[in-house]
Amino acid sequence: MSGVGAAQWPSKGSRQAALLARLDIHRPEDLILHLPLRYEDETRLTPVARVQPGTSAQIEAEVLSCENTRPRRQLLVHLRDDTGSEIIARWINFYPSLQKQLAPGRRVRLFGEVRGGFFGVEMVHPRLRLVDKGEPLPRALTPVYPTTAGLGQPTLRRLLDVALDAVPLDDPLPSTIRQQLALPGFAEAIHTLHRPPPDTDAHMLATREHPAWRRIKFEELLVQQLSLRRAYNARRAHEAVCLPPRRTLTRALHERLPFVLTSAQQRVLDEIAADLAAPHPMQRLLQGDVGSGKTVVAAFAMLQAAENGWQAALMAPTEILAEQHYRKLATWLDPLGIGITWLSGGRRKRERESELARLESGECLLAVGTHALIETPVNLPRLALAIIDEQHRFGVRQRLALRNKGTAGVRPHMLMMSATPIPRTLAMTHYADLDVSTLDELPPGRAPIHTRLASATRRTEIIARLKAACLEGRQAYWVCPLIEESEALQLKTALETWETLKEALPELRVGLIHGRLRAEEKTAVMAAFAAGELHVLVATTVIEVGVDVPRASLMVIEHAERFGLAQLHQLRGRVGRGTAQSSCVLLYEPPLSRAARARLKVIFEHNDGFAIAREDLRIRGPGEFIGARQSGLPLLRYADLERDGYLIEPAREAAAELLADDPAAAGKLLARWLDGREGLLRA
């Protein structure tokens, strides 16, 4: 703690500067936006006779006695206030100096929670202030800040004095916007929150509904919108290849597809087709629940590139998925006379090299692959469209790496696909730098999946039912437990499960798939399962995303309690892809933790990915929910997407207005909140 005298902003490299940096406070401006966690009311004294056990209060009283009790070392202090009521204060850990301070006859103010103790009301470890009779009370609520060890509240408050003196609190927000939402000015809001005037409504401050809070939350949302909007505009300023729909190849695919596109697929395709025809890069997120038919949308987009003589690449997170995409696309595209290739780490070197050559020469226009697309020295000289399937499984860097595969200077159009739908509030905030297309309709004829929860004690019964169903010609996945700590252990469990099931089901053919198999082995197993040659497929989470075997209609997930919500929904989405009634059994190991029970309940009650995503967001909060994407994103500190959702739309409108009419004001707001800390995503 610094001594008395004029406080000043800690110098670079000092201990205090390092402590502040831990709170992400680097400049006085940052401290101004470091707002109280809560407030304590030291403006009033409560007579001891009227304190309510279970609440916090401030009392003023005189010490009657102060003893150091044995055998348990405790400082036990008896006090009496001016109305003659008595109270006990207790310290369990204390410095000897405390006992000296609390000599009989001393007058003190104690602030803390009051409890009903054995000997009457008492306070344990109250905050203590020695006072003289008649000493005035503070007139304002006392703010309590989030802090870190070694940086006390008094220090923070003193530094705030410095910051409030040093930083001009001008208000770049146009008064029209302020008036519409009845927001106070910036300076007024900041003063209210750091130094609440005596008449401030303490309840509204505590619940963060006070207009001063509203102003800050709005400004935070506005800055987020500004920053995302600016990134969006910057990307649009780049040039991309115009890929107008020529309908030579896409029409041919339309005619050959064994099904009719849903109207949602058609609408989304129109949105994408229009983007591809524009001279600046598309940045679109295609979200659609598991099974909504995103792959065929990708195929049409790729063909639109090909019919213009340009290349398109589709990247998927697993080998199984990449190969499946390849096979599906090849059956659709080969008859059109258009070549497609696939790349994965598992392919033989010689094969890979000839494929690479075909891509490099531009002879082959379409590529599907895993990370191998960005890792190996792949050259896609005419890359004009990059599609990322299951985009949440990739990091920002990987997405950028795929984008950079094209010729320097030409930015490919980007389409990100995701089966983890983003709740509307998140789409409007954290994903506002993307255009979003939504498949809100499943192909016709899908029967909802019947989900059941069963304790692992009923395993034998479940196996018997599985057997009966498979003997009737159904196919099943048996998903092995996720063991996050150890891949080796996970593999061992999978092998054991496979052995057990083979033994229990001698009449059935049981296959096994896991991440450690060689690529050809995986291919062979998936092909056998897809062809109906295997009844049961024992699988690790390698099948979590994308795998599409419409005939499989049963799934058992072991240790379902270990999986996250999105993961369970994805896994379950491997069934229910055909017209047969599908079911999914979630086996859990009792006893269940509260969190696990909540997750399983959500999966049990909901089939709709949007509803599940909303629950997931509610349970985990946006930071966790967004996961890999968060790197470089300013997360919200004050605005709460659920409670303050009504501010998002106005913030969005205000952002558009400011960027158009008053870019200088927008710049000031961005500098105040972000100070150049805008992340990778902006690239």
Binding stretches for ligand ADP (CB under 6 A)? 259, 261-262, 265, 288, 290-296, 419, 443, 548, 550, 577
Q: Cα 38 vs. chain centroid, distance in angstroms?
A: 26
Smallest separation, CB 603 to ligand ADP (Å): 17
Q: What gap in Å lies between CA 475 and CA 467, rounded to an integer?
A: 10
Residue with smaller CB distance to ligand ADP, 314 or 343: 314
Residue with smaller CB distance to Mg ion, 281 or 317: 317
Tell me the chain's radius of gyration from C-alpha atoms: 32
Smallest separation, CB 293 to ligand ADP (Å): 3
Smallest separation, CB 584 to ligand ADP (Å): 16
Residue least distant from Mg ion (Cβ): 546
Smallest separation, CB 314 to ligand ADP (Å): 11
**Helices of type H across 440-518:** 459-471, 487-504
Contacted entry of ligand ADP, Mg ion, none for residue 587, CB cut-off 5 to 8 Å set by kind: none
CB neighbours of residue 335 within 10 Å? 11
For the chain, first and last CA: distance in Å? 42
- Does 317 bind Mg ion (CB under 5 A)? Our answer is no
Distances in whole angstroms, Cα of residue 488 to Cα of each of 239, 560, 562: 47, 19, 17
Smallest separation, CB 391 to ligand ADP (Å): 12
Residue least distant from ligand ADP (Cβ): 293
Residue with smaller CB distance to ligand ADP, 225 or 324: 324
Residue with smaller CB distance to Mg ion, 289 or 433: 289
Residue with smaller CB distance to ligand ADP, 316 or 501: 316
Contacted entry of Mg ion, ligand ADP, none for residue 292, CB cut-off 5 to 8 Å set by kind: ligand ADP
CA atoms 460, 452, 621, 293: torsion sign: positive
Q: What gap in Å lies between CA 597 and CA 588, rounded to an integer?
A: 10
- DSSP lists the bridge partners of residue 552 as 475
Residue with smaller CB distance to ligand ADP, 393 or 577: 577
Distances in whole angstroms, Cα of residue 30 to Cα of each of 44, 59, 148, 399, 659: 31, 35, 15, 32, 23
Contacted entry of Mg ion, ligand ADP, none for residue 225, CB cut-off 5 to 8 Å set by kind: none
Smallest separation, CB 368 to ligand ADP (Å): 13
Instruction: Establish whether the linkage from the previous residue to 423 is cis, with ω within 30° of 0.
Output: no
Smallest separation, CB 445 to Mg ion (Å): 18
Smallest separation, CB 322 to ligand ADP (Å): 13
The answer for residues whose C-beta is within 8 angstroms of residue 117's C-beta and 6 or more apart is 88
Residue with smaller CB distance to Mg ion, 393 or 430: 393
Contacted entry of ligand ADP, Mg ion, none for residue 451, CB cut-off 5 to 8 Å set by kind: none
Q: What gap in Å lies between CA 602 and CA 585, rounded to an integer?
A: 14
Stretch that binds Mg ion, among 194-202, 335-343, 396-404, 542-550 (CB under 5 A): 542-550
Distances in whole angstroms, Cα of residue 50 to Cα of each of 40, 89, 119, 142, 432: 18, 16, 16, 22, 53
Contacted entry of ligand ADP, Mg ion, none for residue 259, CB cut-off 5 to 8 Å set by kind: ligand ADP
* Tokens 């102003």, residue located: 215
Residue with smaller CB distance to ligand ADP, 293 or 634: 293
Contacted entry of ligand ADP, Mg ion, none for residue 229, CB cut-off 5 to 8 Å set by kind: none
Mapped onto helix, strand or coil, the DSSP state of residue 309 is coil
Q: Counting beta carbons within 10 angstroms of the beta carbon of residue 637, is it exposed (0 to 12), middle (13 to 18) or buried (19 or more)?
A: middle
Smallest separation, CB 416 to Mg ion (Å): 12
Q: Counting beta carbons within 10 angstroms of the beta carbon of residue 606, is it exposed (0 to 12), middle (13 to 18) or buried (19 or more)?
A: middle
Residue with smaller CB distance to Mg ion, 258 or 377: 258
Interface residue with Mg ion among 126, 511, 546, 576 (CB under 5 A) is 546
Smallest separation, CB 242 to ligand ADP (Å): 27
Residue with smaller CB distance to Mg ion, 268 or 666: 268
The answer for residues whose C-beta is within 8 angstroms of residue 270's C-beta and 6 or more apart is none
Residue with smaller CB distance to ligand ADP, 287 or 304: 287
Smallest separation, CB 389 to ligand ADP (Å): 7
Contacted entry of Mg ion, ligand ADP, none for residue 345, CB cut-off 5 to 8 Å set by kind: none
* Tokens 């320097």, residue located: 408
Q: What gap in Å lies between CA 328 and CA 370, rounded to an integer?
A: 16
Contacted entry of Mg ion, ligand ADP, none for residue 253, CB cut-off 5 to 8 Å set by kind: none
Residue with smaller CB distance to Mg ion, 546 or 609: 546
Using alpha carbons, select from 214, 264, 223 the residue that is nearest to residue 29.
Answer: 223
Stretch that binds Mg ion, among 450-458, 527-535, 543-551, 603-611 (CB under 5 A): 543-551
Residue with smaller CB distance to Mg ion, 109 or 393: 393
Stretch that binds Mg ion, among 99-107, 122-130, 407-415, 538-546 (CB under 5 A): 538-546
Smallest separation, CB 266 to ligand ADP (Å): 9
Give the binding-site size for Mg ion (rule: CB under 5 A): 1
Contacted entry of Mg ion, ligand ADP, none for residue 550, CB cut-off 5 to 8 Å set by kind: ligand ADP
User: Residue 338 in contact with residue 366, Cβ under 8 Å?
Assistant: yes
Residue with smaller CB distance to Mg ion, 322 or 356: 322
Contacted entry of ligand ADP, Mg ion, none for residue 288, CB cut-off 5 to 8 Å set by kind: ligand ADP
Smallest separation, CB 449 to ligand ADP (Å): 13
The answer for residues whose C-beta is within 8 angstroms of residue 161's C-beta and 6 or more apart is 7
- DSSP lists the bridge partners of residue 450 as 583
Contacted entry of Mg ion, ligand ADP, none for residue 416, CB cut-off 5 to 8 Å set by kind: none
Site string for Mg ion, 489-528 (x = CB under 5 A): ----------------------------------------
User: Residue 622 in contact with residue 648, Cβ under 8 Å?
Assistant: no
Q: Counting beta carbons within 10 angstroms of the beta carbon of residue 293, is it exposed (0 to 12), middle (13 to 18) or buried (19 or more)?
A: buried
Smallest separation, CB 315 to Mg ion (Å): 12
Find the helix or strand (DSSP H, E) in which 116 lies. strand 107-117
Smallest separation, CB 294 to Mg ion (Å): 5
Residue with smaller CB distance to ligand ADP, 141 or 612: 612
Q: What gap in Å lies between CA 139 and CA 136, rounded to an integer?
A: 9
User: Residue 622 in contact with residue 424, Cβ under 8 Å?
Assistant: no
Q: What gap in Å lies between CA 33 and CA 669, rounded to an integer?
A: 12
Under the rule (CB under 5 A), what is the footprint of Mg ion?
Answer: 546
